[in-house]
Structure 1
Amino acid sequence: MQYSTVFPRIALVVAVLFGTIGVVAGPAAAAPEARFPGGLASNYVETDLATFHYVRAGSGTPVVLIAGGGLWGYSWRDVLPALAAEHTVYAVDLPSQGYTEPRRADFAYDLPAMSAAIASFLDAVGLDRTTLVGHSWGGAWSMYFAQEHPDRVDRLVLLDAPGLDAEKAPVAPLFTTPLLGELATELTTRSFYAENIRATFAHPQLVTDEIVDAYYLPFARPANRAGFLALWRNLDYRVTDAGLHRITAPTLVLWGGADTWLPATQAGALAARIPDATAHVLPGCGHALHEDCPAQAVPLLSDFLR
């Protein structure tokens, strides 16, 4: 979940945690079966690392979509059908996301671990080489994978993706502070989750109750919340920053000009450090770029992948 960077929201969370506003923690039971729009069926594949949940559509050259932190493949509901007209498209949940179940208690939830998860999924579905499209944290994981496995990445698309050793969201200390982070994660209710999902959109009216429910149900699972918190604490963008020159795949960097999570100036700075990269900033679009402004973002994606 990409929390807003507005300082008053931090004060609200602190107030919630210390009892000035009463809340009830989200449900601890496992979320129901995943339901992807358009009638696409859920698929599961077993590996030593995890049981991966994914949806697949289309035919042609492979494209793997990786959602942002606290989200899942549902994030790509507007992107997947468009790309499936020309490609075989996989929207996969990585550990901490959606309906994927890690199988290792010692999974590290850091950049190497998430890169290993990508490799494990690609191996399981028989993809030696693919295009990766990653949003937010999913972009950071894809970026690191492209640095470590350049021979396996045909093209790379990064949407509002952290990867520079640069400005972070002001809310980050809330989750990296011991005890406070645990409380913030455990006590995130549906209403607070919905508020912060809407804060990633420049057009918050697009975030319907159906969308909030689709995201919140799997986020409410204890294992996903724990992984989400661990990622806040373990993702080290000094590592991705140092390895940007090792990305050999043609790269498209897309950013929302109205992103309140990471400044849009990072788009050009990131593209300038990757050998074969271009950047596009879409005015009036938020951090959840492909959901907030699909009419602008999807054609850019399709043209680049074509």
Structure 2
Amino acid sequence: MTTQQERRSGRRASAARTDAGLPGWVYLPALIGGIFIVLPLVAMVARVNWGQFWILVTSESSVAALWLSLKTATASTLLCVMLGTPMALVLARSRFPGLRLARSLVLLPLVLPPVVGGIALIYTFGRQGLLGGTLEVLGIRIAFTTAAVVIAQTFVALPFLVLSLEGSLRTAGRRYEAVAATLGANPTTVLRRVTLPLVLPGLTSGAVLAFARALGEFGATLTFAGSLQGVTRTLPLEIYLQRETDADAAVALSLVLVVVAVLIVLVTRRRGSEGVV
């Protein structure tokens, strides 16, 4: 307990020293930026029909979309952890020709418009796609199924986990791994007993961010998976459709996503703070 209090006191003192060095004019654009982010959220909350809120968010289509979003986002997050952890380890710990190009390609979905990602997935896994034709012959159809939703979400969310974990690996350094190797531990043991526990806060934060990105995915999902209720229509797609027919329902469902996003940010920040030494 004493150690935790000392760390918190040290962080507060450090923050105080940082604040003391800021020029006064910085606070004005910072305030404007904060208002720019918060004001639209306040406007949305003010627009919510609270009398019908529970009815709107518990309609059959809304509940189906919410559960589908939660299930597919969870599945895509698991895929991100399974694929992204080795990718981050290779990018952070390996040295090979083309490493910068490999890192750029891994992070490419961060800057690609989601619709472009969806089109790329169609031409990969669609019926006439690079792999889709072969899969169709084997009786496996991916495009416009729930599996397509998971793939689209994984495609756009994977870089978030890789980026977060790679940063944690670089910050942690290699000194503990070197000590463990010197003591005779094999690479797998070093990875399992030293590396992964050391960067667990970064892995957790990356997984949470990947889940949040998957939960809010829209463009790639709509392009690659379509919008079939109970099959591919996730909550963002349901909000988009409701906006055209029932604005109150769209606002209510949007508020649900905002609340989930706030909780995710709080969890991520808490994990990040716990990882600070």
Normalising by structure 1, we get a TM-score of 0.24
When Rg is computed on C-alpha atoms for both structures, the one with the higher figure is 2
> Which has more helix, going by share of residues?
2
> Which has more strand, going by share of residues?
1
Normalising by structure 2, we get a TM-score of 0.26
